[in-house]
Structure formats: structure tokens, C-alpha cells
Structure 1
């Protein structure tokens, strides 16, 4: 699609994996980004909302981590992140949602457009450890942010997991 190039689509194009882009007009002023994508995709494509993912940027520390670090958690928009489960999967003692400014700096994406795919997947930036909820693996395809509000990537979960180097675990509470 013309005009849809983002760091996420660049990673996908370079990897050669198959994906589809879906666009919609983001409602200005809304901060319910994941719910907005779910509403649109379920109405337009009849997609079950559990296949639509949110990407959360977290800060983890303690445990085997020598110092605090930024990581990415990917789970269905219908679920709630267990920061305790995310921390355990990352070998950290604790985790919390990252400050929005930290999330922007670490990923290069705006809130509501954070994709689990980015330059850190190709080594062009500092690697961001990624954890993906195990429920994602059951779907044929899933939808994640394409790197901007109103742009969704439909991709096989195996490709998403492989490209991000993610740990697959139960992340929900």
C-alpha cells in the first residue's frame, strides 16, 4: 500500500515473510488505541478480538537483570497484562509500564502506534527483549500495530514470534 512504509513494514519486507496491511481512520482524541483497532477490525473483517494484539512497553528490573531495561509485551487487546508474569519471563524481579516518553524513545513509535516489530529486531538499534502471550500461538493470523495509529499488520504468529525473538508465556491475569 502506498504511503504505509514504517520501520515495522521495513522489517517485514526485508525478512520476506508474508503479511497483509489493514488501514482505518484513527479517531483523533481517543486514547483507547487497542480497543479502537479491535472495534474496527471486528466490524470490518469479522475478526475475533482475541486475535488483535496490543504492544506494551515495560521497564523491568531486579532478578537476574544487572540494571533496569526496557522490554516489549504483546498480548490480546481483550486481556490485561500481568507485570509479574512478564517480569518472570524476562528474568527480572519486577516490571511496570514504561513512562510514555521512555516508550517513545525506546521504540521510535508514538503511543497507539507501537509495533512489536522495529529496528531492534534487525539489530539496528539496541535489542528490546520481547514476551508474547501464549494464547497468540493458537491463531492462524494475528493483527498488531503497523507502526502508526490506524495501520494494522496481519501476520502469522509464528512469524511474529520468530522476528521479535520473543519468549512465549502466559502474560495475562
Structure 2
């Protein structure tokens, strides 16, 4: 069990766990998850961390097939701009390793923004806290469990 799965269990939300054998040579963790689980990339969401001009870490959850619009992400949390967070800082704040960072069960409660396209699906897939492990749940449940807000954070 990972902290992410424990959060979903404790909250008694509907979820499914999907496991696959992670290939260490994969170029993209998210694309690998979509391919191995035979799920459209638009339903598999990655978890990225950005740092705002206010020196706050922000969690961005967006489809693996897209890039993060850092300005939109910053705007969603009332900051002027943001840059991608340092890997070590992201791992320290979340308690997870890159490629397995889940939006659920992080060590620190950070501001979180989920791309609004997540609401287009009955369920989405996000990391369950380790490479090769995904949790499928509704975007509304994910937002409720994390205190996230929805916004358009995709780069054009």
C-alpha cells in the first residue's frame, strides 16, 4: 500500500488500482502508463511541481500528452509566474520519487491545480505513488481529497 492508496481507502471513494511492469528505459512515465494500461493518453494525468515567484510549491495535474503552461498555473494560484520545481525539492515535499509522484498522500499539503479537461472523463488515472502503479478515480474525488481547483493549465 502507498500513502496515495491509503488516502483513497480512508476517504471511501471509488477507485481502482492498475499495476504494470515499469521499464526503466521508458522516455515518458505517463506515456508508458497509457500504453501499458491501454488507456488514452488524455485520461492519464501526470503530477508536476512548479515553484511560484512567491517561493511556493504548486502541484499541477495534467494529461501526459500535454505540457504545462507555467503562467496559467501561476495565475490559478494567484501568483505572477512559476518555474518547474527542482527534482530534489519536489521529491522532498511530496515524499515520492519522480515518475511516481502522486497527487494523493503527499508529505506536505501543497496548493494543487488540476487541468479542467479532467472533468471530461468519468475517471482519470494518476500515479498511485510509485512507478508502475496507477490509481483510477473521478477527478471530482481527486479535487475533493486534495483541496485542488480546476483551471486551464495546458500549453498551446
Indicate the residue corresponding to 2:50 in structure 1. 58
Bigger Cα Rg: 1
Q: Tell me how far apart the structure 1 counterparts of residues 139 and 113 of structure 2 sit (CA, whole Å).
A: 13
Q: Tell me how far apart the structure 2 counterparts of residues 155 and 167 of structure 1 sit (CA, whole Å).
A: 16
Using the TM superposition, give the Cα deviation of residue 31 of structure 1 relative to its aligned residue in structure 2, in angstroms: 4.5
2:25 counterpart of 1:29 = yes
What whole-Å deviation, never above 9, does each CA across 1:140-173 have from its counterpart, x for those lacking one?
0100000000000010111011111111000001
Moved more, 25-34 or 15-24: 25-34
2:9 counterpart of 1:13 = yes
- Could you tell me whether the CA contact under 8 Å between 1:74 and 1:131 is conserved in 2? yes
Aligned pairs, number: 155
Indicate the residue corresponding to 1:41 in structure 2. 37
3-state SS, counterpart of residue 50 of structure 1: helix
- Could you tell me whether the CA contact under 8 Å between 2:94 and 2:108 is conserved in 1? no
Indicate the residue corresponding to 2:131 in structure 1. 149
- For structure 1, list consecutive stretches of 5 or more residues without a partner in the other structure: 62-66, 120-124
Q: TM-score, normalised by structure 1?
A: 0.86
Q: TM-score, normalised by structure 2?
A: 0.95
- For structure 2, list consecutive stretches of 5 or more residues without a partner in the other structure: none
